[in-house]
Amino acid sequence: MNHNFKDLTGKKFGMLTVESFAYTNKARKAYWDCLCDCGERKVVAGDKLRGGRTKSCGCLQNKLRKDGSNHRTHGMTNTKLYTVWCNMKARCYSVNNDMFYNYGKRGISVCEEWKNSFENFLKWAIDSGYVEGLSIERIDVDGNYEPANCTWVPLKKQSLNQRRSHKITAFGKTMTIKEWADETGLKYDTIERRINQYGWTAEDALTIEPHQGRAR
C-alpha cells in the first residue's frame, strides 16, 4: 500500500474491524472500510477510529437509546449502566463504601478488562442482554466481577441471592451460612452478623453460644 499513513487493515476498534482501505479525501485524510460486530459495514476516518470517537456502525448508540440511555459527549456518565460500573468498582476498591466489607475486604475484585475500561464493560453488558432495570450479579458469589462469572438479573432476585449462598470455611470444611446454621443450631442471622458486622473468626462465630458474654 503506497500511502503515507499507517495501515489499519485487520485492526479492531470497539465493535469495528477494519477490512480494507477505502480512500483519502482532499485533505489527505484516510478512510477505511469497516465491518461492525452486528454485521453492518461502515466507512470511517482513521483518526476517528484511533481516537475512539467511532466505535460501531451506529448500532451501539441506537441500542442505548432504546434502553433509555443517552450517550453524552464524553461517554455515558449520566446513565444507569455507568452507575452500575462505578458502584461495582467502589464495592471492591473503596474502603469508604458501605459494601466494601462484603466485597473488597473479602478479596472480590474487578477484572482488568472492565476495571480500566467502561467501554469494554459496556460492550459486554449489551452483548449479554442488559436492559434498564436489571442488576449485575456474580454467578459464584465468592468469585470476581468478570465476563465468565457475571449475569444480569432483576433486582428482586438478586436481593434474595446475595448472602444466603456465601460460604464460610471452618474446621477444614466449607459450607454456606445456612448449612452451618443447620449443623450448629445457631441462627443464620447470628452467624452472619458475628462475621460480617462484628468481625469474629469463623470458628468463634460457629461455636460460642449467645449467652457466653460476647456480642451476639
At 160 the pLDDT is: 47
pLDDT tens for 11-63 read 888 888 999 999 998 888 899 999 988 788 899 999 888 887 788 888 776 66
Residues 93 and 119 both lie in one domain: yes
- Among the candidates 161, 184, 199, a domain finishes at 161
Residues 27 and 70 both lie in one domain: no
Residues 115 and 68 both lie in one domain: yes
Residues 69 and 157 both lie in one domain: yes
| Residue 142 confidence (pLDDT) above 70 | yes
Residues 84 and 137 both lie in one domain: yes
At 64 the pLDDT is: 60
Residues 157 and 73 both lie in one domain: yes
Instruction: List CB contacts of 127: < 8 A, sequence separation 6 or more.
Output: none
> Please, are residues 149 and 156 in contact by the beta-carbon 8 Å criterion?
no
Residues 138 and 175 both lie in one domain: no
pLDDT tens for 59-82 read 776 666 555 544 443 356 778 888
Would you say residue 4 lies in a domain? no
Would you say residue 194 lies in a domain? yes
Residues 22 and 73 both lie in one domain: no
**∠ at Cα 109 (137, 153), nearest 5°?**
5
Residues 132 and 90 both lie in one domain: yes
Residues 114 and 200 both lie in one domain: no
Average pLDDT score over residue span 193-212: 77
Number of domains in the chain: 3
| pTM summary value | 0.44
**Residue 199, domain extent:** 167-212
